[in-house]
Amino acid sequence: MQQRHTRFGDSSAPGSPRWTRRACIAGAGGAAAALAGCALHNAPPASAASAQSNPQPNPANAQTKVVFYAKPPNASVNQKTIIGIMQETLQPYYAANKGLYVDIIPEELPTTQIVASILAGEQMDIIYDNYFAPYAEQNLVLPLGSYFQRDNVDSSIWNKAQFALYNTAKGPMAVPVYTGTSAIAVNQNMFDQAGFNYPTADWTHQEFTAVCRQMAHPAGKTPIYGGTVFYYSNGPGQQGSWPFKAFGGNQVSPVGPPSQLSSTQNTAALNWLYEELFWPKVAAPNNVIGITQFVHDQCAMIDMDTWELLTFAQSLSGTPTKFDFLPYPVFPAGRATFCTADFYAIAANCKQPDIAWDLLRWVSTEPIWQRATFSFALLSPALNSLWGEWATKIQQVIPFFAGKDFTWFGDAASKGYAYPVEYYPYSDQRVWQMIGPYFQQLYTQQLSVAAAARTIDHAVNAFEASAKQSGQGQQVQSQLFPSVGGHTIAVVPPGL
């Protein structure tokens, strides 16, 4: 699987390998694929057997072809098999759209390649990516507002905050592919050994912090952590806006200067993360401590994400570890946790946008496609209405999870407390390239929370004001998106 474009905040330290949801899924390898094998081969109608027995439309006979870059499942699954299953899933759509052929390409292309292909005029009707900012900044995808209005698409079928990410001043520009959310896995063995009661689902963030302190032994030869949260050691980057939302603030302010980390709410979020959790080493970012430490009783609670469940099951199968899931705690502004930002959109150079939209609408609003993807890939749904079915499927496919509480993953999405990243309006990646080191210095206590907040606010707001003044960020973008062959493409800065 190719490495894709990410923002600055996606590694545990500058220059170190990324640890992202794609790495987690791919890293599960053959063992994870084996755990999901019965789903892959026994899930009607999207099954390998039915895909072989039911011939697919012949591209040579098609009057119209739509090129659909679809999100692939686990990288260890044979691509030809996946294409067959996806084509089988489209049978109801083909039945209603004679003469159409969908060329499905289940690949995760780097953002650089997608952008370059669009600008070069290659046919990429429906694209998949997880980093929306470059497409919005460079007008590389088509507005969908007129289609939403014409077809009465109700955006409340998806997680509110995730859809809002793609709903720009030009209206909706993309739709969610899936909604990956986070909960907390509790190592009940460690609580039993310590003689403490298990935390409960109604806990507050103060109680979460207290439990972390209670369970942590940071000074030992092998440090014991109380917990982890979805956050990276060098800043929020691609880890979402949830800590700021949790305290009533915003990662990127919608009103006034874009960076307001010095506000009371945002400073409270940073104080909680750094002064109460990370600096005392009672809890850690989830790129520092994770499943390995959980299995070896070196961490009592870890952030658990829907895309990590296969890896989690693989790691714990055959061990005596006793566990269950809890929601993220209640904060001053309510519950808050992370959600993914993966999207489908129609490329700006699409020659047949009406046809592409019709397919995109079917894939994203009808349950057939999403039921298939969580049947053969266990991918969590984008549609709020399907979370119950997804939880049932997970427990059927992986009996290891029988009896565990999967409620919280779906609640985070359907009840609107799962939050994705927020993008700086004029040159998002350039901003993160600039401020990422400040977050790293904050993590290593070279900067206080107050000093880091002031420094980041000043740097971001001056930069964004300059970008706006220079023509909606175009001149600034050229530093990050240089011209190649007459076309502007996104590049990954050195060290990412």
Contacts of 110 (CB under 8 A, 6+ apart): 2, 3, 4, 5, 492
What would the pLDDT profile of 9-41 be if each residue is shown by its tens digit?
333 332 222 233 433 333 333 333 444 444 333
Question: In this structure, what token pair is assigned to residue 58?
Answer: 């012949």
Residue type for position 378: L
Residue 321 vs residue 427, higher pLDDT: 321
State how far the alpha carbon of 199 is from the alpha carbons of 187, 195, 209, 212, 400, in Å. 11, 12, 11, 11, 22
Q: How confident is the model at residue 112 (pLDDT cuts 50, 70, 90)?
A: confident
Do residues 14 and 496 touch, judged by C-beta distance below 8 A? no
Question: CA–CA separation, 22 vs 14, rounded Å?
Answer: 19
At 48 the pLDDT is 41
The hierarchical CATH code for the domain 36-179+342-419 is 3.40.190.10
Q: How confident is the model at residue 325 (pLDDT cuts 50, 70, 90)?
A: very high
What would the pLDDT profile of 220-236 be if each residue is shown by its tens digit?
788 999 999 999 877 66
Do residues 366 and 89 touch, judged by C-beta distance below 8 A? no
Q: How confident is the model at residue 477 (pLDDT cuts 50, 70, 90)?
A: very low
At 76 the pLDDT is 60
**DSSP 8-state assignment for residue 339:** B
What would the pLDDT profile of 56-80 be if each residue is shown by its tens digit?
666 656 678 999 999 887 656 677 8
Question: CA–CA separation, 104 vs 66, rounded Å?
Answer: 8
Q: How confident is the model at residue 46 (pLDDT cuts 50, 70, 90)?
A: very low
Residue type for position 452: A
What are φ and ψ of residue 212, in 5° steps?
-60, -45
Number of H helices, E strands in the chain: 23, 18
**In the predicted model, what is the mean pLDDT of the chain?**
83
Question: In this structure, what token pair is assigned to residue 313?
Answer: 């099951």
At 57 the pLDDT is 64
At 81 the pLDDT is 84
What would the pLDDT profile of 270-321 be if each residue is shown by its tens digit?
999 999 999 999 999 988 999 999 999 999 999 999 999 999 999 999 999 9
Question: CA–CA separation, 107 vs 351, rounded Å?
Answer: 22
Question: In this structure, what token pair is assigned to residue 216?
Answer: 């942590």
Q: Which residue stretches of 282-427 are H helix?
A: 291-295, 309-316, 353-365, 367-376, 387-397, 407-414
Q: Which residue stretches of 223-308 are H helix?
A: 242-246, 264-270, 291-295
The pLDDT of 234-257, averaged and rounded, is 86
Q: What percentage of the chain has pLDDT greater than the value 90?
A: 63
Q: Tally the residues of the chain.
A: 496
Bridge partners of residue 127, in order along the sequence: 345
Q: How confident is the model at residue 239 (pLDDT cuts 50, 70, 90)?
A: low
Question: CA–CA separation, 260 vs 46, rounded Å?
Answer: 48
At 145 the pLDDT is 97
SS3 of 321-358: the string is CCEEEECCCEECCEECEEECCCEEEEECCCCCHHHHHH
**DSSP 8-state assignment for residue 307:** G
**DSSP 8-state assignment for residue 47:** -
What are φ and ψ of residue 157, in 5° steps?
-70, -15
Taking alpha carbons only, the member of 494, 488, 493 closest to residue 135 is 488
Question: CA–CA separation, 135 vs 211, rounded Å?
Answer: 42
The pLDDT of 118-137, averaged and rounded, is 91
Domain spans of the chain? 36-179+342-419, 182-338
Taking alpha carbons only, the member of 160, 168, 154, 129 closest to residue 347 is 129
Q: What region does 281 belong to: left with phi over 0, alpha with psi -120 to 50, or beta?
A: left
Do residues 289 and 299 touch, judged by C-beta distance below 8 A? yes
- Between 131-135, 173-177, 216-220, 384-388, the lowest mean confidence (pLDDT) is in 216-220
Question: CA–CA separation, 157 vs 169, rounded Å?
Answer: 21
Taking alpha carbons only, the member of 394, 373, 381, 396 closest to residue 339 is 381
At 75 the pLDDT is 56
Rg (CA), the chain: 22
Question: CA–CA separation, 87 vs 266, rounded Å?
Answer: 47
Pairing of strands 100-104, 330-331: unpaired
Q: What percentage of the chain has pLDDT greater than the value 70?
A: 80
At 481 the pLDDT is 31
- Hunting for tokens 């489908």 — which residue is that? 344
Q: Is the pLDDT assigned to residue 432 strictly greater than 70?
A: yes
The hierarchical CATH code for the domain 182-338 is 3.40.190.10
Q: Is the pLDDT assigned to residue 494 strictly greater than 60?
A: no
At 237 the pLDDT is 61
What are φ and ψ of residue 199, in 5° steps?
-65, 160
Give the 3-state secondary structure of residue 48: helix
Question: In this structure, what token pair is assigned to residue 335?
Answer: 């519950």
Q: Is the pLDDT assigned to residue 126 strictly greater than 90?
A: yes
Question: CA–CA separation, 458 vs 455, rounded Å?
Answer: 5
- The burial of 466, by beta-carbon neighbours within 10 Å (0-12 exposed, 13-18 middle, 19 or more buried), is given as middle
